[in-house]
Chains A and B, each alone.
Chain A
Amino acid sequence: MSAGRHSQAQLEPRNAPAVSYWPARLDLLQGASGLLLVLFMWAHMTFVSSILVSEEAMYRVSLMFEGYYVFGSSHPWLVSVVALAITALLMLHAVLAMRKFPQNARQYADFLAHRRRMHHTDTTLWWWQLVTGFLLFFMAPAHLYTMFSQADQIGPYASSWRVYSTQWPLYLVLLVVVEIHAALGLYRLIVKWGWLRSVSRKYLRMIIGGLAVYLVLHGVSTLLAYYKLGETLRDTPGLRYQPVEVHP
């Protein structure tokens, strides 16, 4: 290593070992946080789309997250805690992924020229991972804060009204962006760590792309269900769902 490449931290006198494990740890953490977020997104989709089953199903899922089936009463702050935890995970992932962004105009120009020259699928896909990741910086927190601050207003009617009256444009774009990013991230993780080696990259892209298309369609129909239900509540905003069975 030439003298000029030592960082200031390396020049500080200290007893630390010469070799740093941090680049490796950060790479592992980046992958792990990304993977956890992907798994969370799948679980999230499953729970949210309970509205496609019935209003009652969605109501029960929301009760579950409020701890009703454990404590016998509803504690919406549990939902706030989950929203906070996901926000923390997202911040961890974002700060780690930021290391991979081009750092200055020259690096952007070099990468974009390279991408244009090469016409190479995986290089282009990485660029879209970057763009979608960047968009998530702004879009994901908007949704997370709503869930954090209005945790007591989640349910078939309350959620539908929120989707219909204000949130649907954000959710529609967020849905597409997050699914693209998650699919690309999952693909990247698989090729990066050498999992599923018997599947060619081309097939892998087709499988994961198919999965992403399915998830977007599933998400759009869910969103549409909330929107339509919300539309019927136009004259009664703030109306709460009355469960089929009477709960205390």
Chain B
Amino acid sequence: MNDAAVIAKDGEEHGARRLRFEIFRFNPCDPDSRPHYDTFELDDAPGMTLFIALNLIREQQDPGLQFDFVCRAGICGSCAMLINGRPTLACRTLTGTLPDTVRLSPLPVFELIGDLSVNTGKWMRQMSERLRTWVDVAEDVDLDSLETPMDPDAAQAIYELERCIECGCCVAGCGTAVMRESFVGAVGLNKMARFRLDPRDTREDADFFELIGTDEGIFGCMSLLGCDDVCPKDLPLQTQLAYLRRKMAKVTLTG
């Protein structure tokens, strides 16, 4: 018996609460498919996560249900979905914290693969290429020479922002991104803040301005701060966005 089955059995024995899941169903590849919600019921069990619940539903009730998981530990960012309207990670959501009826929908903004599965990867890649979210160096690096050690404080500050798992919650939670397709979202802006801190990156503020000093970048952000409130990794998005806005505005005033 696997973990999920043990937990499910445990639930039956303890007369647990009955959970109702309303799950979004749609297969864009099937011309006969129409978007709708299917209802599934399941006994709650102590310590059960939404990851386990969805697997139980797929195992026992509907083998065709589509959703994404890889790490089931909040690291890979695949399992983000709208849980009662709010974007968050399914693998880190305990069913015990949910009301009796739970509505699950795919993240908006991203391309729908089917049911709860969306293609965040495609969106993230386009954003990354647009913003050049890598350590950008003006000259060729001599790979044989010893790397300059990084100041531990700088490394720590970078690490704080590097924790982003590209789950897409901040994009799905952002009113601006939902309305305006080309907006780079807090994930993209946070990445710019991260590479701006990196001493190896040779870009100056004027270069960053070219990338994000636009209405698709920091000046498109309307500070609704959905991003900050839904980020499952608790990244300091509000602080970073305000900081970037000040820095980019300074480029305009001085440059």
Contacts and interface: CB of A to CB of B under 8 A. Distances in A.
Given A19-B209, A120-B173, A5 B85 contact: no
A24 B180 CA distance: 18
A150 B229 CA distance: 49
Given A28-B249, A122-B225, 14 more contacts: A23-B219, A24-B213, A24-B219, A24-B252, A28-B252, A102-B179, A110-B108, A111-B175, A117-B85, A119-B85, A120-B226, A122-B229, A192-B221, A193-B246
B175 A19 contact: no
Interface of A: 1, 5, 18-21, 23-28, 99-100, 102, 107, 110-111, 114-120, 122-123, 126, 188, 191-194, 197, 201
Contact of A118 (B173, B213, B238): B173
Contacts of B252: 21, 24-25, 28
A201 to B, nearest CB: 7
A25 B209 CA distance: 13
Residue of B206, B225, B246, B248 contacting most chain A CB atoms (<10 Å): B225
A102 B221 CA distance: 13
Contacts, number: 98
Interface string B175-201: 100111010000000000000000000
Nearest to A193: B242
Interface string B228-255: 0100000000110011011011011101
Contacts of B224: 120, 122-123, 126
Residue of A19, A20, A100 contacting most chain B CB atoms (<10 Å): A19
A194 B241 CA distance: 8
B76 to A, nearest CB: 24
A212 B248 CA distance: 31
B242 A194 contact: yes
A192 B213 contact: no
Contacts of A116: 85
A197 B239 contact: yes
A110 B249 contact: no
B28 to A, nearest CB: 18
B223 interface: yes
Interface of B: 82, 85-86, 108, 130, 173, 175, 178-180, 182, 206, 209-210, 213-215, 217, 219-226, 229, 238-239, 242-243, 245-246, 248-249, 251-253, 255
A201 B215 CA distance: 25
Given A114-B178, A118-B85, A27 B249 contact: yes
Residue of A5, A119, A193 contacting most chain B CB atoms (<10 Å): A193
B205 to A, nearest CB: 12
Residue of A1, A24, A120, A192 contacting most chain B CB atoms (<10 Å): A24
Residue of A19, A20, A114, A194 contacting most chain B CB atoms (<10 Å): A114
Residue of A18, A21, A25, A26 contacting most chain B CB atoms (<10 Å): A21
B133 to A, nearest CB: 16
Nearest to B207: A19
A194 B220 CA distance: 16
A171 B229 CA distance: 37
Contacts of B253: 28
Given A28-B249, A117-B85, A100 B239 contact: no
A118 B86 contact: yes
Nearest to B215: A23
A117 B215 CA distance: 25
A116 B86 CA distance: 10
B107 to A, nearest CB: 11
A197 B243 CA distance: 11
B225 A201 contact: yes
Contacts of A20: 214
Residue of A5, A20, A120 contacting most chain B CB atoms (<10 Å): A120
9 contacts: A19-B206, A19-B209, A19-B213, A111-B178, A117-B82, A118-B85, A120-B226, A194-B243, A194-B246
A126 B221 CA distance: 12
Nearest to B126: A2
A115 B214 CA distance: 25
A191 B237 CA distance: 11
A180 B230 CA distance: 26
A157 B223 CA distance: 45
Contact of A191 (B215, B223, B249): B223
